[in-house]
């Protein structure tokens, strides 16, 4: 592993047999300003089923030169991937405290789907790792990484999230998980599901790769239980809901110049035993209230990998497999 003094980008580093990392210096446009960054990109994790990972660090007085610490994380991820422990969009990693993390106020990473960044050679299907505080990591563990990523997007005015990590104030409070409606619901995350409101339609896209997990888990869930799928923003979403505890009205962030016609949620939930089918925005996601007959049909479709559609009040609900 190179020393910080020798890690002058652009540079290629051999981390382990079959695993390399690239460190580059670049700027990220943010409105009328530019954010100077170091980016670390893996090459070789995909051979083990782990999407390649990008970590971007904002260049500040705290990090005037690219530190080597992110490379140690990449090297630690490789054996986990070899054992089948795969990080996915919406997932997270907690780290043991060290001097680098304490200086920045971080406790780990959350993973989001990497988006195109000018000047950065991001691999197809790669993940962007965002460094998070202890409080943010706790929220991501229970209520999904998108909830934290969207808050960071609002804090930095960068949709759907800022690709860079930096020392900053936390966007989550200690113990806030209990104040969310999601705390009382059965939750499933890490499946790559997206939920998007498009006009009067709510589109739920479910990857085929999630079919086995859903089919295996649904039979263990009582028919009267509220089930929440934690979601990621769809690639075509141009806005995303954002929520903080104590907030009562829906709030969203949007891409610059977007008309916010494709509104992403951080989750979609199903509430059975209702008198009629309805849909409502709750916190930063969507809750679909369903009759027992509708819920039985949706559960059957989810368990068998089949599409489903029905009308909930003025909203058409569509479950699609991709």
User: pLDDT tens digit string along 182-216?
Assistant: 999 999 999 999 999 999 999 999 999 999 999 99
Q: What is the mean pLDDT of residues 158-186?
A: 95
Strands 263-264 and 239-242: parallel
| pLDDT tens-digit map of 304-314 | 999 999 999 99
Mean pLDDT of the chain: 94
Q: What is the mean pLDDT of residues 88-107?
A: 95
- Taking 90 as the threshold, does the pLDDT of residue 6 lie above it? no
Q: Give the residue, 121 or 39, on which the prediction is more confident.
A: 39
Count of beta carbons in the 10 Å neighbourhood of residue 303: 15
| pLDDT tens-digit map of 213-228 | 999 999 999 999 999 9
Q: Give the residue, 117 or 156, on which the prediction is more confident.
A: 156
DSSP codes joined into one string, 206-245:
E-GGGHHHHHHHGGGS-TTS-EEEE-B--TT--EEEE--T
Share of the chain above pLDDT 70, in %: 98
Q: What is the mean pLDDT of residues 113-122?
A: 88
| pLDDT tens-digit map of 12-56 | 999 999 999 999 999 999 988 999 999 999 999 999 999 999 999
pTM of model > 0.85 = yes
- Taking 90 as the threshold, does the pLDDT of residue 238 lie above it? yes
DSSP state for residue 178 in the 8-state scheme = G
DSSP codes joined into one string, 255-310:
-TT----SEE-SEEEEE-S-SS-EEEEETTEEEEE--HHHHHHHHHHHHHT--EEE
Q: What is the mean pLDDT of residues 137-146?
A: 96
- Taking 60 as the threshold, does the pLDDT of residue 152 lie above it? yes
SS3 86: coil
CATH of 180-321, one of 3.50.50.60, 3.40.50.720, 3.30.1360.220, 3.40.47.10: 3.30.1360.220
Joined tokens for residue 71: 């490379």
Q: Which residue has the tokens 């994790």?
A: 45
- Taking 70 as the threshold, does the pLDDT of residue 5 lie above it? no
> Where in the chain are all domains bearing CATH 3.30.1360.220?
180-321
- Looking at residue 68, what is its pLDDT? 95
Whole-number Å distance between alpha carbons of 1 and 49: 24
- Looking at residue 258, what is its pLDDT? 86
| pLDDT tens-digit map of 245-290 | 999 899 999 998 888 899 999 999 999 999 999 999 999 999 999 9
308 has which bridge partners?
319
- Taking 80 as the threshold, does the pLDDT of residue 299 lie above it? yes
Residue 192 region by backbone torsions, left for phi larger than 0, else alpha for psi between -120 and 50, else beta: left
């Amino acid at each position: 592993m190179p020393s910080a003094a020798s890690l002058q980008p652009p540079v290629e580093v051999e981390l382990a047999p079959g695993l390399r990392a690239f460190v580059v210096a670049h700027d990220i446009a943010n409105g009328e300003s530019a954010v100077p960054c170091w980016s670390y990109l893996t090459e070789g994790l995909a051979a083990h089923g782990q999407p390649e990972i990008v970590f971007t660090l904002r260049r500040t007085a705290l990090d005037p030169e690219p530190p080597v610490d992110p490379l140690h994380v990449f090297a630690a991820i490789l054996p986990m991937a070899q054992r089948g422990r795969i990080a996915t969009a919406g997932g997270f990693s907690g780290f043991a405290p060290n001097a680098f993390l304490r200086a920045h106020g971080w406790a780990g990473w959350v993973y989001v789907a990497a988006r195109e960044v000018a000047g950065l050679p991001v691999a197809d299907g790669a993940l962007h790792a965002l460094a998070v505080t202890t409080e943010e990591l706790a929220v991501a563990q229970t209520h999904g990484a998108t909830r934290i990523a969207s808050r960071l997007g609002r804090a930095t005015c960068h949709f759907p999230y800022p690709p860079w990590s930096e020392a900053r104030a936390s966007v989550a409070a200690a113990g806030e998980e209990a104040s969310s409606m999601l705390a009382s619901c059965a939750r499933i995350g890490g499946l790559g599901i997206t939920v998007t409101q498009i006009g009067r339609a709510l589109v739920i896209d479910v990857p085929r790769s999630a079919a086995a997990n859903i089919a295996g888990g649904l039979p263990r869930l009582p028919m009267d239980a509220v089930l929440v799928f934690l979601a990621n923003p769809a690639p075509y979403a141009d806005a995303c809901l954002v929520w903080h505890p104590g907030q009562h009205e829906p709030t969203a962030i949007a891409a610059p110049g977007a008309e916010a016609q494709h509104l992403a949620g951080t989750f979609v939930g199903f509430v059975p035993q209702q008198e009629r089918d309805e849909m409502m925005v709750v916190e930063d996601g969507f809750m679909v209230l369903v009759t027992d007959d509708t819920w039985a049909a949706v559960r059957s479709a989810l368990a068998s990998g089949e599409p489903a559609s029905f009308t909930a009040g003025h909203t058409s609900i569509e479950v699609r497999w991709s």
